Protein backbone atom coordinates (compact mmCIF):
# COMPACT_ATOMS: atom_id res chain seq x y z
CA UNK A 1 0.00 0.00 0.00
CA UNK A 2 2.85 2.40 0.88
CA UNK A 3 4.45 1.72 -2.52
CA UNK A 4 1.61 3.53 -4.23
CA UNK A 5 2.39 6.65 -2.19
CA UNK A 6 5.87 6.69 -3.67
CA UNK A 7 4.52 7.43 -7.06
CA UNK A 8 2.32 10.46 -6.62
CA UNK A 9 3.24 14.12 -6.46
CA UNK A 10 0.78 16.97 -5.87
CA UNK A 11 1.53 20.62 -6.53
CA UNK A 12 -0.73 23.43 -5.36
CA UNK A 13 -0.09 26.31 -7.72
CA UNK A 14 -1.26 29.36 -5.77
CA UNK A 15 1.15 31.89 -7.20
CA UNK A 16 0.71 33.56 -10.57
CA UNK A 17 4.33 34.63 -10.80
CA UNK A 18 6.59 33.56 -13.66
CA UNK A 19 9.47 32.46 -11.46
CA UNK A 20 7.28 30.39 -9.14
CA UNK A 21 5.27 28.93 -12.01
CA UNK A 22 8.49 27.92 -13.77
CA UNK A 23 9.76 26.20 -10.66
CA UNK A 24 6.43 24.39 -10.35
CA UNK A 25 6.49 23.19 -13.95
CA UNK A 26 10.13 22.11 -13.79
CA UNK A 27 9.30 20.01 -10.74
CA UNK A 28 6.12 18.66 -12.36
CA UNK A 29 7.80 17.67 -15.62
CA UNK A 30 10.83 16.28 -13.78
CA UNK A 31 8.60 14.18 -11.55
CA UNK A 32 6.55 12.96 -14.52
CA UNK A 33 9.77 12.07 -16.34
CA UNK A 34 10.74 10.02 -13.31
CA UNK A 35 7.56 8.01 -13.60
CA UNK A 36 5.51 9.79 -10.93
CA UNK A 37 1.83 10.52 -11.24
CA UNK A 38 1.63 14.30 -11.01
CA UNK A 39 -1.38 16.48 -10.20
CA UNK A 40 -1.27 20.26 -10.34
CA UNK A 41 -4.04 22.14 -8.59
CA UNK A 42 -4.34 25.76 -9.75
CA UNK A 43 -5.87 28.22 -7.34
CA UNK A 44 -6.18 32.01 -7.05
CA UNK A 45 -3.32 33.70 -8.86
CA UNK A 46 -2.19 30.33 -10.19
CA UNK A 47 -5.30 30.23 -12.40
CA UNK A 48 -3.56 32.81 -14.60
CA UNK A 49 -1.22 30.12 -15.84
CA UNK A 50 -4.00 27.91 -17.17
CA UNK A 51 -6.17 30.66 -18.62
CA UNK A 52 -6.50 31.19 -22.32
CA UNK A 53 -5.94 34.92 -21.86
CA UNK A 54 -9.22 36.51 -22.80
CA UNK A 55 -11.22 38.92 -20.60
CA UNK A 56 -12.99 37.39 -17.61
CA UNK A 57 -15.60 38.41 -15.10
CA UNK A 58 -19.29 39.10 -15.08
CA UNK A 59 -19.79 41.67 -12.33
CA UNK A 60 -18.08 45.07 -12.23
CA UNK A 61 -15.41 43.94 -9.77
CA UNK A 62 -15.00 40.68 -11.62
CA UNK A 63 -14.40 42.48 -14.88
CA UNK A 64 -11.99 44.93 -13.25
CA UNK A 65 -10.07 42.01 -11.81
CA UNK A 66 -10.09 40.26 -15.15
CA UNK A 67 -8.67 43.36 -16.75
CA UNK A 68 -5.94 44.01 -14.19
CA UNK A 69 -5.07 40.36 -13.72
CA UNK A 70 -5.18 39.21 -17.32
CA UNK A 71 -4.44 35.54 -17.62
CA UNK A 72 -2.42 33.52 -20.09
CA UNK A 73 1.20 32.37 -19.98
CA UNK A 74 2.45 35.44 -21.79
CA UNK A 75 1.25 37.77 -19.09
CA UNK A 76 2.85 36.23 -16.01
CA UNK A 77 5.75 38.21 -14.67
CA UNK A 78 8.42 37.52 -12.02
CA UNK A 79 7.48 37.92 -8.35
CA UNK A 80 10.07 40.66 -7.97
CA UNK A 81 11.63 43.14 -10.39
CA UNK A 82 8.77 42.99 -12.81
CA UNK A 83 9.24 46.74 -13.35
CA UNK A 84 5.98 47.18 -15.20
CA UNK A 85 6.69 44.24 -17.49
CA UNK A 86 10.35 45.02 -18.24
CA UNK A 87 11.53 42.34 -15.86
CA UNK A 88 9.28 39.75 -17.48
CA UNK A 89 10.66 40.62 -20.90
CA UNK A 90 14.25 40.53 -19.64
CA UNK A 91 13.80 37.17 -17.91
CA UNK A 92 12.27 35.66 -21.03
CA UNK A 93 15.20 36.89 -23.11
CA UNK A 94 17.75 35.51 -20.66
CA UNK A 95 16.02 32.15 -20.56
CA UNK A 96 15.83 31.98 -24.33
CA UNK A 97 19.54 32.73 -24.71
CA UNK A 98 20.37 29.87 -22.35
CA UNK A 99 17.97 27.46 -24.03
CA UNK A 100 15.73 27.15 -21.00
CA UNK A 101 12.19 26.20 -21.94
CA UNK A 102 9.61 29.00 -21.77
CA UNK A 103 6.59 28.70 -19.48
CA UNK A 104 4.19 27.81 -22.29
CA UNK A 105 6.52 25.10 -23.58
CA UNK A 106 6.94 23.63 -20.10
CA UNK A 107 3.19 23.59 -19.63
CA UNK A 108 2.73 21.75 -22.94
CA UNK A 109 5.49 19.32 -21.99
CA UNK A 110 3.79 18.66 -18.68
CA UNK A 111 0.48 17.89 -20.39
CA UNK A 112 2.29 15.69 -22.88
CA UNK A 113 3.81 13.71 -20.00
CA UNK A 114 0.38 13.11 -18.50
CA UNK A 115 0.43 15.68 -15.73
CA UNK A 116 -3.12 16.22 -14.50
CA UNK A 117 -4.17 19.88 -14.27
CA UNK A 118 -7.11 20.89 -12.11
CA UNK A 119 -8.78 24.24 -11.50
CA UNK A 120 -9.98 25.31 -8.07
CA UNK A 121 -13.74 25.89 -8.19
CA UNK A 122 -13.80 28.27 -5.24
CA UNK A 123 -11.26 30.76 -6.54
CA UNK A 124 -12.68 30.42 -10.05
CA UNK A 125 -16.04 31.39 -8.63
CA UNK A 126 -14.68 34.36 -6.63
CA UNK A 127 -12.59 35.67 -9.52
CA UNK A 128 -15.40 34.94 -11.98
CA UNK A 129 -13.28 32.76 -14.23
CA UNK A 130 -15.28 30.15 -16.09
CA UNK A 131 -14.32 26.68 -17.37
CA UNK A 132 -14.38 28.14 -20.86
CA UNK A 133 -11.68 30.66 -19.89
CA UNK A 134 -9.26 27.82 -19.15
CA UNK A 135 -7.06 25.93 -21.62
CA UNK A 136 -8.21 22.56 -22.94
CA UNK A 137 -5.52 20.66 -21.03
CA UNK A 138 -7.35 21.22 -17.74
CA UNK A 139 -9.10 17.92 -17.02
CA UNK A 140 -11.44 19.02 -14.25
CA UNK A 141 -12.40 21.74 -11.81
CA UNK A 142 -12.54 20.54 -8.22
CA UNK A 143 -12.75 21.61 -4.61
CA UNK A 144 -10.40 21.33 -1.68
CA UNK A 145 -11.51 17.83 -0.68
CA UNK A 146 -10.49 16.43 -4.05
CA UNK A 147 -7.15 18.19 -3.81
CA UNK A 148 -6.57 16.88 -0.27
CA UNK A 149 -7.52 13.42 -1.46
CA UNK A 150 -4.71 13.54 -4.01
CA UNK A 151 -2.33 15.04 -1.47
CA UNK A 152 -3.06 12.29 1.05
CA UNK A 153 -1.94 9.71 -1.52
CA UNK A 154 1.15 11.65 -2.54
CA UNK A 155 4.68 11.22 -1.33
CA UNK A 156 5.33 14.88 -2.02
CA UNK A 157 2.92 17.81 -1.81
CA UNK A 158 4.18 21.29 -2.57
CA UNK A 159 2.59 24.71 -2.16
CA UNK A 160 3.93 27.11 -4.78
CA UNK B 1 41.52 7.62 -25.91
CA UNK B 2 37.92 7.39 -24.75
CA UNK B 3 36.31 3.99 -24.71
CA UNK B 4 33.12 3.45 -26.60
CA UNK B 5 30.34 1.13 -25.60
CA UNK B 6 27.91 -0.48 -27.99
CA UNK B 7 24.66 1.47 -27.97
CA UNK B 8 21.23 0.80 -29.45
CA UNK B 9 20.35 4.46 -29.63
CA UNK B 10 22.09 7.80 -29.53
CA UNK B 11 20.52 10.74 -27.76
CA UNK B 12 21.78 14.28 -28.22
CA UNK B 13 20.88 16.43 -25.21
CA UNK B 14 23.52 19.07 -25.84
CA UNK B 15 22.40 22.62 -25.22
CA UNK B 16 19.34 21.45 -23.27
CA UNK B 17 18.81 22.63 -19.72
CA UNK B 18 16.88 21.14 -16.81
CA UNK B 19 14.29 19.56 -16.98
CA UNK B 20 14.68 18.69 -20.66
CA UNK B 21 17.48 16.11 -20.31
CA UNK B 22 15.45 13.83 -18.00
CA UNK B 23 12.22 14.51 -19.89
CA UNK B 24 13.82 13.49 -23.20
CA UNK B 25 15.51 10.50 -21.59
CA UNK B 26 12.19 9.31 -20.16
CA UNK B 27 10.76 9.29 -23.67
CA UNK B 28 13.82 7.86 -25.42
CA UNK B 29 14.05 4.88 -23.06
CA UNK B 30 10.93 3.45 -24.70
CA UNK B 31 12.76 3.41 -28.06
CA UNK B 32 15.18 0.73 -26.94
CA UNK B 33 14.29 -2.84 -25.92
CA UNK B 34 14.70 -4.01 -22.32
CA UNK B 35 18.41 -4.55 -21.90
CA UNK B 36 19.12 -1.97 -24.58
CA UNK B 37 21.58 0.87 -24.11
CA UNK B 38 21.25 4.57 -24.89
CA UNK B 39 24.39 6.60 -25.46
CA UNK B 40 23.69 10.23 -24.64
CA UNK B 41 25.61 13.49 -24.74
CA UNK B 42 24.72 16.54 -22.70
CA UNK B 43 26.19 19.89 -21.73
CA UNK B 44 24.05 20.62 -18.65
CA UNK B 45 26.26 19.73 -15.64
CA UNK B 46 23.06 18.98 -13.74
CA UNK B 47 22.78 15.66 -15.61
CA UNK B 48 25.57 14.21 -13.48
CA UNK B 49 23.16 14.18 -10.54
CA UNK B 50 19.84 14.15 -12.41
CA UNK B 51 20.32 11.08 -14.58
CA UNK B 52 21.43 8.79 -11.73
CA UNK B 53 18.44 10.02 -9.70
CA UNK B 54 16.16 9.40 -12.67
CA UNK B 55 17.62 5.91 -13.08
CA UNK B 56 17.05 5.14 -9.42
CA UNK B 57 13.45 6.31 -9.65
CA UNK B 58 12.61 4.49 -12.86
CA UNK B 59 14.61 1.32 -12.19
CA UNK B 60 17.08 1.79 -15.02
CA UNK B 61 20.85 1.64 -14.83
CA UNK B 62 23.49 4.26 -15.47
CA UNK B 63 26.43 2.37 -16.92
CA UNK B 64 29.20 4.89 -17.41
CA UNK B 65 29.96 8.59 -17.63
CA UNK B 66 32.83 10.38 -19.23
CA UNK B 67 33.64 14.04 -19.68
CA UNK B 68 34.84 15.25 -23.05
CA UNK B 69 35.56 18.92 -22.45
CA UNK B 70 32.20 20.63 -22.05
CA UNK B 71 30.29 17.55 -23.17
CA UNK B 72 29.26 14.78 -20.82
CA UNK B 73 28.80 11.40 -22.48
CA UNK B 74 26.92 8.72 -20.60
CA UNK B 75 25.31 5.35 -21.16
CA UNK B 76 21.98 4.26 -19.72
CA UNK B 77 20.65 0.71 -19.83
CA UNK B 78 16.95 -0.02 -19.87
CA UNK B 79 16.21 -2.58 -17.17
CA UNK B 80 12.46 -2.92 -17.47
Domain extent at residue A41: 2-159
Chain B residues in contact with A30 (beta carbon < 8 A): 18-19, 22-23, 50
B60: domain CATH number is 3.30.110.40
Nearest CA in chain A to B52: A34
Q: CA nearest A47: which of A115, A119, A108, A122?
A: A119
Q: How many angstroms away from the CA of A7 is the closest CA of chain B?
A: 9
Complex ipTM tops 0.85: no
Counting the structural domains of chain A, the total is: 1
Q: How many angstroms away from the CA of B1 is the closest CA of chain A?
A: 31
**Three-state secondary structure string covering chain B:** CCCCCCCCEEEEECCCCCCHHHHHHHHHHHHCCCCCEEEEEECCCCHHHHHHHHHHHHCCEEEEEEEECCEEEEEEECCC
Interface contact A98-B57, CB threshold 8 A: no
- DSSP state at residue A71: -
pLDDT at B18 over 90: no
| B14 within a domain of the structure (yes/no) | yes
Chain B residues in contact with A101 (beta carbon < 8 A): 17, 19-20
| B1 within a domain of the structure (yes/no) | no
pLDDT at A1 (0 to 100): 45
pLDDT at A74 (0 to 100): 87
Task: Name the residue among B15, B16, B23 with its Cβ closest to that of A33.
Answer: B23
Chain A residues in contact with B16 (beta carbon < 8 A): 99
Q: How many inter-chain contacts (A to B, CB under 8 Å) are there?
A: 39
A136: domain CATH number is 3.40.1260.10
Counting the structural domains of chain B, the total is: 1
Measure CA of the first residue to CA of the last residue in chain B; give whole Å. Answer: 32
pLDDT band for position B1 (50/70/90)? Answer: very low
Interface contact B16-A99, CB threshold 8 A: yes
Interface of B with A (CB under 8 A): 15-20, 22-23, 25-26, 50, 53-54, 57-58
Domain extent at residue B20: 9-77
Q: Output the pTM of the full model.
A: 0.87
pLDDT at A2 (0 to 100): 47
Interface contact B54-A33, CB threshold 8 A: yes
| B3 within a domain of the structure (yes/no) | no
Q: Establish whether B55 is a catalytic residue.
A: no
- Residue ranges, chain A, pLDDT below 70: 1-6
pLDDT at B67 (0 to 100): 93
Of the residues B4, B10, B17, B18, which is catalytic? B18
Task: List Cα–Cα distances, A42 to A118, A142, B67, B72, in angstroms.
Answer: 6, 10, 41, 37
Amino acid sequence: MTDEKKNKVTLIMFSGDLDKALAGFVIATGAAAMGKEVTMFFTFWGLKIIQKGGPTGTSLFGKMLGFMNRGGVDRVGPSRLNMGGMGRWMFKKMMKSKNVAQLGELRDMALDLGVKMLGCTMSMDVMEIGRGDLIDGVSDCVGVAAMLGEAAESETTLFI
Amino acid sequence: MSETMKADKELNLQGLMCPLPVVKMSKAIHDVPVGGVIEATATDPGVLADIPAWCKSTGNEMLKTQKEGKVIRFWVKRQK
